[in-house]
Amino acid sequence: MNGAIVMVRPTAIDLFAGAGGMSLGFEQAGFDVVAALEVDPIHCAVHEYNFPDCPVICANVSEISGAEILRRAGVTEVDVLFGGPPCQGFSLMGKRLLDDPRNALVSDFIRLVGEIQPRYVVMENVKGMATGKQRQVLSEAIAALGAIGYEVVDPPQVLNAAHYGVPQYRERLFLLAYRQGETPPHYPLPTTHPAGKTRLKGELARLPASATVAEALQDLPKIEQYEALWRQDCVEANFGVPSQYGSILRGLAVDLGDYGYPRPVMENWLSNSGRSHHRDTSIERFRNTKPGEREPVSRFLRLHPQGVCNTLRAGTPSSRGAFTSPRPIHPQLPRCITVREAARLHSYPDWFRFHVTKWHGFRQIGNSVPPWLARAVASSVRESLGGAVERPQGECRLGDAGLLSLTMTQAAARYGVAADAIAPRRRL
C-alpha cells in the first residue's frame, strides 16, 4: 500500500465484488484483498477508485479460471475466498437446482473454490436461500463443498447488520467453510441490537443499541443550502457536530476495530449528494408523513430518527426498466435521502465514493454488504487464522476521481470488455 508500513497480513480474494462493501469489511478486519472480480465495468471503476492497489478483474465468473485469478492477483495461494453469488433457486421439483442455469453463479463460485483452494470460504446471499425451494440450493452447495474437501460451519446463519452497529435492519445469509485440517471459524456474536426496538428478549436485550438514523445523519450538511448540487454530486460544505458513529465515518475518531489502510480525510468535502427534483405535490405528501410511517401514494417509508433504516435495496435491472429502488424519506426534510445519506446508513466511511449518478450510486449501495457487517464476519475468520494484525500507518492514496463518472461505454473500454457486457439502462 502506498505510504503504509509493509507487514504480513492474511490475504483474500473478492468474487462478485460490486463497489466493494465486502472488500472494505475484510480490509478493516486486517486482510489484504489481493484481487476483486466483478462483471459490471461501472462497479469495477468505482472499486478501482476506492481500492487502487487491488487489481480489479472485469470478467464473468463463468468465463475465468482460478489459475487466472491467482495470476492476476500476483499470488500462488490465498487465505480466504469470499463473495455473494446471485441465486434465483427456483426450478422443477426433483431437479438438482445447481444444474439450473439461473443458479450457475453458485456453481461457479464452488468451482473456483476447488481451483483456488483457499483455507477459508465465506459465501453471502439473500436470507431466503435458507428457506423453501432455495434451501435445496444451499444443501447442494454444502454437499458440493464437502466433495472438494471443505467442511461447513453448520447451520449457515442469517445475520442482521443492525446487530453489528449498522443503523439499518438488513438480514443476509452467511455460509462459512474451511479446508479440512484448518481451525473451524465461528459466526460472529451480535454486538448491538436495533435502535428503536423495545421488546427484545434474552441476551440481545442486554446489548447496547446500534446507532440511530439521527445519529448517522445529524452532522451532514443540508443539501438545500447548495445550489451547485443540482448540477453536480459534490461540494465543499459546512458539517455539523457528529455523533460518535458519524465521527468514525468522517475519520475524526479512532475506530478501534478498523485495521484498514487509512485514506485521506477531506473534512469539509460532501460527496454523492446530488439533489433530486420532487414535484410540489410529492413534497407536500412527504411533509405530512409521520416518521416511521409510509407515504400513502409512493409507499416510501419516512425514516424514524430514533430507529434504524429499513433495508436499502438496489432497484430493478435493465431488463425491467432500470428503476431506482424506492428510497426512504428523510426523517426531518420532505425529500428522499441522498446517496451519501444512504452510505452513512450502510456504514460506509465518507472517503468512500460511488458513481456520480444517483441511479448507479444507489444500486451500488443496495447491492452491497454493509462494511461493518462484513468486518464482523471477516474478523471471526481472521481469529481462526491465528496471529495478531497490526494497524497500518500512513495513508493509502485513492484513485483518479474520473473513474466515478465513466459511462458504461467508457468503463467497458477501460477494462477491455464489450460495451454490452451489462445491458444499458432504459426507462419504460
What pLDDT score was predicted for residue 88?
Answer: 58
Judge residue 256's burial from the number of C-beta atoms within 10 Å of its C-beta, 0-12 exposed, 13-18 middle, 19 or more buried. Answer: exposed
Residue 89, pLDDT above cutoff 60: no
Q: What angle do CA 328, 348, 410 make, to 5 degrees?
A: 90
Average pLDDT, the chain: 90
Could you report the per-residue pLDDT of 169-220, keeping only the tens digit for each? 999 999 999 999 999 999 999 999 999 876 677 778 889 999 999 999 999 9
Residue 275, pLDDT above cutoff 80: yes
Residue 84, pLDDT above cutoff 90: yes
* Rounded Cα distance, 60 and 72, in Å: 15
14 close to 50: Cβ distance less than 8 angstroms: no
What pLDDT score was predicted for residue 136?
Answer: 84
From 54, 87, 336, 396, active-site residue = 87
Residue 316, pLDDT above cutoff 80: no
Residue 3, pLDDT above cutoff 60: no
Beta bridge partners of 36: 14, 56
Q: Is 11 helix (H, G, I), strand (E, B) or coil?
A: strand
Q: Residue 254 is inside which H or E element, if any?
A: none
Higher pLDDT, 106 or 316: 106
Could you report the per-residue pLDDT of 276-304, keeping only the tens digit for each? 999 999 999 999 999 999 999 999 999 99
Judge residue 372's burial from the number of C-beta atoms within 10 Å of its C-beta, 0-12 exposed, 13-18 middle, 19 or more buried. Answer: buried
Could you report the per-residue pLDDT of 220-269, keeping only the tens digit for each? 999 999 999 999 999 999 999 999 999 999 999 999 999 999 998 888 99
What pLDDT score was predicted for residue 202?
Answer: 76
Higher pLDDT, 25 or 97: 25
| Amino acid at site 132 | G
* Rounded Cα distance, 357 and 360, in Å: 6
Could you report the per-residue pLDDT of 369-403, keeping only the tens digit for each? 999 999 999 999 999 999 888 888 778 999 999 99
Strands (E), 131-281: 150-152, 157-160, 171-179, 235-236, 269-270
- DSSP letter at 344 equals H
For residue 19, report the phi and psi dihedrals to the nearest 5 degrees: -75, -20
Residue 315, pLDDT above cutoff 90: no
What pLDDT score was predicted for residue 389?
Answer: 85
Would residue 309 show up in a list of annotated catalytic residues for this protein? no
What does each C-alpha distance from 155 to 35, 103, 121, 139, 159 come to in angstroms? 29, 21, 15, 10, 12
Higher pLDDT, 78 or 133: 78
134 close to 89: Cβ distance less than 8 angstroms: yes
| Amino acid at site 425 | R
What pLDDT score was predicted for residue 172?
Answer: 95
215 close to 245: Cβ distance less than 8 angstroms: yes
Domains of the chain: 11-197+369-415 (3.40.50.150)
Could you report the per-residue pLDDT of 91-126, keeping only the tens digit for each? 333 445 555 565 789 999 999 999 999 999 999 998
